[in-house]
């Protein structure tokens, strides 16, 4: 199940970005005492009491029919509200209720989403006494906070997580492999879905960014069930007026969270650009299995070196995905499309593979014999015990005499030895180093 989404909304200059930064714990949003300075929503992951959630910061909502920028900011906020599971409505204790607050409240009523009312700048007893007038906005009990001083943030987050959707049982059986197609707009994700299904189940358009939502489609091949999750294309941040592309980034991230395997789609005609690596990085960081799919391969003029040169280019550019297989396909001609789902099943199996503890320890012992661990100031790293603690992705814990003696290069060496002994094609693996005394 994807993590919940919390959107922070309100009129300009009530302290939304300061609250966002306080919850996230770092200064991500631009904070400046000028109304409307936060022009685009900013996403971040946050956590409270073991609840992980996406947090969206939005520009201040204002109502002026003659200001195109304010219209754009309001539209951005409406998109964030539509995407959110819970909304934090921020108002200002120093100014009281304004007509704009009332207009924002009406917008939130229409959304029918849970709303937590945060009365910001309530940093002294007099201002705390002002919060009661905000009951008239019609939401549950107002919560007095001070984003600048960190007051009341815990109470606010306690109220927020009460509204999170109850984590239901998995949407699909464990045997079902969930596959998401991720990539920039117009690389052919929807066309690939249609080619896999053999029918026009997803709207395909030459206009970049047609797919706005993540769409689930069931598919069975050779008695194996798949769920194909087509996602809206992710476009580079910073293009202010591409609101819906920004909106689709979060949906794609949530689709990745729901996936077992992510297909990173690259447009062969355009080649590899920086945003392709950024998108693939989302799946890698989430620990999902990965396949790189080069689409529109039929449209490329080729000679006997093209395939090898393109493959090498991918390996050079996607160093962090050295484990990912590469497929060259064409959704338009269906060239090699039939290779995709068998490869998905292969990497899904590797993603869920578990190594017996005694086999793992024999492997580590052999590796340390061939290349002894590093030493520092006369002390040598000693690996006492190794065990696999989880799958999806395969995660290993090494218990050592001193974690500070484990150099990243030696850890990489051990990872390479594990990969040499076991396929683990298409899946990241994680190694956690702990002192022997730790549980």
Binding-site residues for GTP, in ranges, read 10-17, 57-61, 120-123, 183-190, 230-234, 295-298
Measured in whole angstroms, the distance separating CA 279 from the mean position of its chain's CA atoms is 9
DSSP state of 165: P
**CA pair distance 186, 209, nearest whole angstrom:** 7
- Alpha helix positions (H), 173-270: 189-197, 243-257
Q: What Å distances lie between residue 373 and 28, 225, 305, 402, 412, CA to CA?
A: 40, 44, 41, 12, 12
Q: Is 67 helix (H, G, I), strand (E, B) or coil?
A: coil
**CA pair distance 284, 259, nearest whole angstrom:** 12
**CA pair distance 37, 41, nearest whole angstrom:** 11
DSSP state of 410: H
Q: Give the tokens for residue 388.
A: 């696999």
- Check residue 20 and give left, alpha or beta (phi > 0: left; psi -120 to 50: alpha): alpha
CA angle 276, 257, 39 (to 5 degrees): 65
Q: Is 28 helix (H, G, I), strand (E, B) or coil?
A: coil
Q: What Å distances lie between residue 232 and 249, 259, 279, 364, CA to CA?
A: 7, 15, 12, 43
**CA pair distance 306, 157, nearest whole angstrom:** 54
Q: Give the tokens for residue 189.
A: 């994700």
Annotated binding site: 10-17, 57-61, 120-123, 183-190, 230-234, 295-298
Q: What Å distances lie between residue 189 and 185, 262, 393, CA to CA?
A: 8, 12, 25
Q: How many CB atoms lie under 10 A from the CB of residue 266? A: 28
């Amino acid at each position: 199940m994807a993590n919940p989404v919390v959107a922070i909304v309100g009129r300009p200059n009530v302290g939304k970005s300061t609250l966002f930064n306080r919850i996230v714990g770092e200064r991500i949003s631009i904070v400046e005492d000028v109304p409307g300075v936060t022009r685009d929503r900013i996403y971040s992951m946050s956590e409270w009491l073991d609840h992980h959630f996406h947090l969206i910061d939005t520009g201040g909502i204002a109502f002026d029919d003659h200001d195109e920028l304010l219209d754009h900011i309001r539209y951005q906020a409406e998109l964030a509200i539509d995407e959110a599971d819970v909304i934090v409505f921020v108002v200002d204790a120093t100014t009281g209720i304004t007509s704009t607050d009332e207009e924002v409240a009406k917008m939130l009523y229409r959304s029918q989403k849970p709303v937590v009312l945060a009365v910001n700048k309530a940093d002294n007893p007099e201002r705390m006494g002002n919060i009661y007038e905000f009951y008239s906005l019609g939401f549950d009990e107002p919560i007095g906070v001070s984003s600048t001083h960190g007051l009341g943030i815990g109470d606010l987050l306690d109220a927020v997580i009460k509204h999170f959707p109850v984590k239901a049982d998995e949407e699909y059986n464990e045997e079902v492999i969930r596959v998401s197609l991720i990539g920039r707009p117009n690389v052919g994700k929807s066309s690939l879905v249609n080619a896999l299904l053999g029918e026009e189940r997803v709207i395909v358009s030459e206009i970049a960014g047609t797919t706005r939502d993540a769409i689930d489609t069931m598919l069975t091949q050779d008695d194996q069930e798949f769920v194909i999750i087509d996602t809206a294309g992710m476009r580079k941040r910073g293009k202010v007026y591409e609101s819906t592309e920004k909106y689709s980034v979060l949906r794609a991230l949530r689709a990745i969270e729901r996936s077992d395997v992510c297909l990173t789609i690259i447009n062969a005609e355009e080649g590899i650009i920086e945003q392709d690596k950024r998108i693939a990085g989302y799946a890698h960081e989430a620990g999902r299995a990965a396949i790189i799919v080069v689409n529109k391969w039929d449209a490329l003029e080729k000679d006997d070196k093209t395939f090898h040169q393109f493959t090498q280019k991918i390996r050079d550019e996607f160093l962090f995905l050295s484990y990912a297989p590469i497929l060259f396909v064409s959704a338009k001609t269906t060239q090699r499309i039939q290779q995709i789902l068998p490869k998905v099943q292969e990497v899904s199996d590797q993603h869920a593979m578990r190594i017996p503890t005694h086999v793992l320890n024999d492997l580590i012992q052999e590796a340390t014999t061939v290349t002894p661990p590093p030493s520092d100031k006369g002390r040598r790293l000693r690996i006492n015990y190794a065990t696999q603690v989880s799958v999806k992705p395969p995660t290993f814990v090494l218990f050592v005499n001193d974690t500070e003696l484990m150099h990243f290069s030696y850890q990489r060496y051990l990872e390479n030895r594990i990969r040499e002994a076991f396929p683990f094609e298409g899946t990241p693996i994680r190694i956690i180093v702990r002192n022997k005394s730790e549980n």
